[in-house]
Amino acid sequence: MARPSGKKPTAAEKAQAREVSLRRIGSLFTTHRVSLGIVVLIIVVSSIVAMASPFLLRAVIDDALPHADVRLLVWLVIGMVAVAAVTAALGVVQTWISTAVGQKVMHRLRVDVFTHLQRQSIGFFTRTRTGEVQSRITNDIGGMEAVVTSTATSIASNLTTAVATAVAMAALSWQLTLVSVIVLPPAIYLSRRVAQMRREITAQRQRELADLNVTIEEGLSISGVQLAKTMGTAPALIERFTGSSTRLIDLELRSELAGRWRMASMSIVFAAIPAVIYLAAGLPFTRGTMSIGTLVAFTALQAGLFRPLMGLLNVGVQLTSSLALFARIFEYLDLTVDIQEPASPRKIKDPGGHLRFEDVTFAYPGADQAAIAGVSLDVPAGTSLALVGETGSGKSTLAALIARLYDPTAGRITIDGVDLRDLALADLTAIVGVVSQETYLLHTSVRENLRYARPDATDEQIEAAARAAQIHDRIAALPDGYDTQVGSRGHRFSGGEKQRIAIARTLLRDPRILVLDEATSALDNETERAVQRAFDELARGRTTVTIAHRLSTIRDADQIVVVDHGRVLETGTHDALVGAGGRYAALAG
């Protein structure tokens, strides 16, 4: 799939172009050195044992059969069967150990990528397609499985077998050995060419798989299906999916057939070598120089030599083509973590919830101007702060900074005098609870959705949180009560019901600081008043930061801050700000 001339490569294509260190790939196996050492030992022993077969065969043909030595023939046959049995048993053990090592490496890669992505800031996920992330963890790591599970042992096995076979061939006839190896230089050259072709195709194939994943995620999620049905875009989505799948057919074919004619020609040459050997043995000037047993044993060895040689060349092709997959995985593992855990985290033994913004400025990556500029706020423990302002004024950004979804560009935010960046992330999330306007429910039961916030919560605590959020009666009325499945993204429930479940989930954690980012935006007036009463009760002794468009919900806040273009315009109580006749008075009017 050629790139149109003049079009700049994407970031993903640049990632594929960078070289991947084989040493870095090898480092994935360092913790399994003992197991790999055992595998190599098994391979060496197996290869040495297998080399006895052609010599036993020569003895059968040259000694036992011509002299009708039944006793010798029986022992030689027993030896041949024993060799086969021993090598087969060693092969099973080798496969078991090497596969276990490979699967553990795959497991480590999956976990490392997932863990590293969990540490990324919200900014990464806002600029990255969900299907792309899923594709790297599933398709790319899955595509590496054959390389990870078999490459190291395949190299050791084929190399050991090739060396042992070459030594045995030289012991039988060094002249015929020279004839056999003349094809190696062109074979190596062709293999390198094929490997490079497959690497480029693999990179294109994985990008196309990621696009396919994105189409599936966008087109078959509940939100995507609703959008397609209401906008009538299903045919366009089908056409997009069909086009991507069609391109994958072409790429898969090119990947499988890349260089096949080259490798096929090598197979023909390899197959011709035994014929050349038979011809050489039958020529007048060589006739009678070796026994029939030696000739048969040598051709058997020669066939056994080309198998590991071709195996080594194919491993080289496979490894080189898989570098595109490693490049995509290492690109994610090398992402800088914006929100770092502190090297020496501080503890707040008994959090009070005193929240302060000290000259805080924040700009989103790539933005021309700061979303928050020089904001200073003081919210004593147990008091309430309300942030008001027009859409885009910076209210939600302030809320995100409290939860440390982002770090300030300048200034600092403290809880009880401790900078948020000095707190362990787990400690911060235990102190700060957030209910946002965008509610996300897991595709599981209501009970498990609530317990997600606090895994050790009892059923009584879960129900108490649901009552406080004014949602218990609705849940209890469901056919399976708290064990009812919420459906994909909670679409079984209305917007207000989902919002109240999310509120209950946060309240279950009993945070000292509550951040309510338009948490009642999806509720009707009656339900909003009920939830607001619950909030008023639960806010006692807690610090509460509320963002709301409906000013009626924040009239009783201890502080109301009017934000405009990331700056604080006014601060005061409702009555004081209305009396001042400024921006708040205009909004309230």
Structure confidence at residue 3 as a pLDDT band (50, 70, 90): very low
Least confident of 6-15, 87-96, 384-393: 6-15
More reliable by pLDDT, 435 or 528: 435
First to last CA, the chain: 60
Residue 258 pLDDT more than 70?
no
Number of domains in the chain: 2
Structure-block tokens of residue 5: 């001339």
Whether residues 323 and 419 share a domain: the answer is: no
We report the CATH number of the domain holding residue 287 as: 1.20.1560.10
Contacts of residue 231, Cβ cutoff 8 Å, sequence gap at least 6: none
Band (13; pLDDT cuts 50, 70, 90)? very low
In the predicted model, what is the mean pLDDT of residues 154-166?
71
Q: Is the pLDDT of residue 476 over 80?
A: yes
Nearest to 252 by CA among 217, 288, 208: 208
Q: Is the pLDDT of residue 455 over 70?
A: yes
Query: Does residue 375 surpass a pLDDT of 90?
Result: yes
- From CA 15, how far away is CA 13, in angstroms rounded? 5
pLDDT over 80 at 185, yes or no = no
In a shared domain, residues 84 and 147: yes
pLDDT, one tens digit per residue, over 72-86 is 888 988 988 998 899
397 and 468 assigned to the same domain = yes
323 with 364, same domain: the answer is no
Judgement on whether residues 272 and 185 belong to the same structural domain of the protein: yes
Residues 383 and 311 in one domain: no
In a domain, 233, yes or no: yes
Quick check: is 5 in a domain?
A: no
Q: Residue 77 domain-assigned?
A: yes
pLDDT category at 19 given cuts 50, 70, 90 is low
Global pTM value: 0.69
Same domain flag for 226 and 141: yes
Cα(449)–Cα(118) distance, integer angstroms: 19
Which of 299, 333, 367 is a domain's end point?
333
Q: Is residue 350 assigned to a domain? A: no
378 shares a domain with 292: no
In a domain, 100, yes or no: yes
Residues 171 and 42 in one domain: yes
The whole-number pLDDT of residue 16 equals 44
Q: Does 53 share its domain with 111?
A: yes
Q: Which of 275, 303, 333 is the last residue of a domain?
A: 333
Q: Which residue, of 300, 333, 366, is where some domain finishes?
A: 333
Out of 154-158, 318-322, 506-510, the most confident range is: 506-510
> In this structure, are 308 and 397 located in the same domain?
no
**Whole-angstrom distance, CA of residue 31 vs CA of residue 62:** 50
Q: What is the pLDDT of residue 73?
A: 87
Note whether residue 55 is domain-resident. Answer: yes
Compute the mean pLDDT over every residue in the chain, rounded to the nearest whole number: 78
What pLDDT is stored for residue 188 in this prediction?
65
State which residues form the domain around 40: 11-333
137 burial level (CB within 10 Å; 0-12, 13-18, 19+):
middle
Q: How confident is the model over 304-324, as a mean pLDDT? A: 69
- How do residues 32-69 score in pLDDT, each as one tens digit? 888 888 888 887 788 778 778 777 877 888 888 888 88
Least confident piece of the model among 2-16, 78-92, 233-247, 384-398: 2-16
Rounded mean pLDDT of 128-133?
75
Asked if pLDDT for residue 246 goes beyond 70, the answer is yes
Q: Is the pLDDT of residue 500 over 70?
A: yes
Q: Which long-range contacts (CB under 8 A, 24 or more apart) does 321-324 make?
A: 321/195, 321/198, 321/199, 321/201, 321/202, 321/255, 322/143, 322/144, 322/147, 322/199, 322/202, 323/19, 323/20, 323/199, 324/16, 324/199, 324/200, 324/202, 324/203, 324/206
Q: Is residue 345 part of a domain?
A: no
CATH of the domain at 418: 3.40.50.300
Contacts of residue 380, defined as CB under 8 A and 6 or more positions apart, other chains included, come to: 354, 543
Q: Nearest Cα to 544, choosing from 359, 506, 552, 536?
A: 536
Cα(218)–Cα(209) distance, integer angstroms: 14
pLDDT value at residue 372: 92
328 and 367: one domain?
Answer: no
- The CA distance from 168 to 1, in Å, is 48
347 is a domain residue: no
